[in-house]
Amino acid sequence: DTAVSQTPKYLVTQMGNDKSIKCEQNLGHDTMYWYKQDSKKFLKIMFSYNNKELIINETVPNRFSPKSPDKAHLNLHINSLELGDSAVYFCASNQGQGSQETQYFGPGTRLLVL
Amino acid sequence: GNSVTQMEGPVTLSEEAFLTINCTYTATGYPSLFWYVQYPGEGLQLLLKATKADDKGSNKGFEATYRKETTSFHLEKGSVQVSDSAVYFCALLQNSGGYQKVTFGTGTKLQVIP
């Protein structure tokens, strides 16, 4: 069984569109994250949720809005997509806000904005 | 703030060669340290970790020792294989303000040729 899953795996869309990426974890973790990996492979944290509550919100345009319907899901909605949003987006999860437990990553969603 | 510095790649080695990928970090306190691996077209996978000074993480023939005196966590493998070709990320995880934050290095691409 996949521990952290993301859909879709690939997403190609036009500038100005609104799209969502979904993430689900079946590990029973209480904390989930979104990361952005740019073309140079640099990984940067975007958001962190603990038990459906936003914990970390790095400097990310407000076109990006995370939504957590329950602690097993953290979806990422992006409005008015721009060319610079093209990247690979990774979801991750772990147990214990404030702990130093390992984060487990999803397979990534490759977003290409044309 | 925290930072992780990795040697720039790509690193190109012949099969069965010895591998070292250097990683140094800057952080206060006692972070946990990780190596993640990203195979072509795939997501991040945890390779190994160490949670305190002098701990040695190991997996699949790879090793890294948490050296607090030199703030380093260098990745080593005695004999690389073509299947080890991937991007390797050094990361540190630390609690900050009651929540945890992961800081990644920029990644080092390893190419192993037969």
For residue A110, name the pLDDT band (cuts at 50, 70, 90): very high
Report the residue of chain B nearest A109, measured CA to CA: B43
**Of the partner residues B45, B89, B99, the one whose CB lies closest to the CB of residue A43:** B89
Contacts of A26 (CB under 8 A, 6+ apart): A1, A2, A3, A5, A72
Q: Is B44 helix (H, G, I), strand (E, B) or coil?
A: strand
What average pLDDT is seen over chain A? 87
pLDDT at A23 exceeding the cut of 70: yes
DSSP state of B70: T
Residue B17 has pLDDT above 80, yes or no: yes
How far B98 CA lies from chain A's nearest CA (Å)? 5
Half-sphere exposure of B87 (CA within 13 A, CB side): 20
pLDDT computed for residue B2 by the predictor: 83
Query: Which tens digit of pLDDT belongs to each residue from A96-109?
Result: 655 567 888 998 99
The 10s digit of each residue's pLDDT in B59-84 is: 999 999 999 999 999 999 999 999 99
Q: How far apart are CA B93 and CA A43, in angstroms?
A: 14
**CA A11-A12-A18 angle, 5° bins:** 80
B84 token code pair: 């080890």
The DSSP line for A52-110 is TEEEEE-S--TTEEEEEEETTEEEEEE-S--GGG-EEEEEEEES-TTS-PPPEE---EE
What are the C-alpha distances in Å from A93 to residues A1, A79, B44, B60? 15, 24, 12, 23
Distance from CA of B49 to the nearest CA of A (A): 8
**What would the mean pLDDT of A82-100 be, rounded to a whole number?**
84
CB atoms near residue A77 (< 10 Å): 14
CA A91 – CA A105 distance, rounded (Å): 6
pLDDT in the model for residue A50:
81
pLDDT for B40-56, tens place per residue? Answer: 877 788 899 998 899 99
Q: What is the mean pLDDT of residues A7-19?
A: 94
**Per-residue pLDDT at A61 exceeds 80:** yes
Least CB-CB distance to B43: which of A56, A90, A97? Answer: A90
- Using the Cβ of A72 and the Cβ atoms of chain B, whether some distance falls under 8 Å is answered with no
Note the pLDDT of residue A79. Answer: 95
Averaged over A3-28, what is the pLDDT? 94
Q: Does B43 touch chain A (CB under 8 A)?
A: yes
pLDDT (tens digit, 9 = 90+) per residue, B89-108? 999 887 766 566 788 898 99
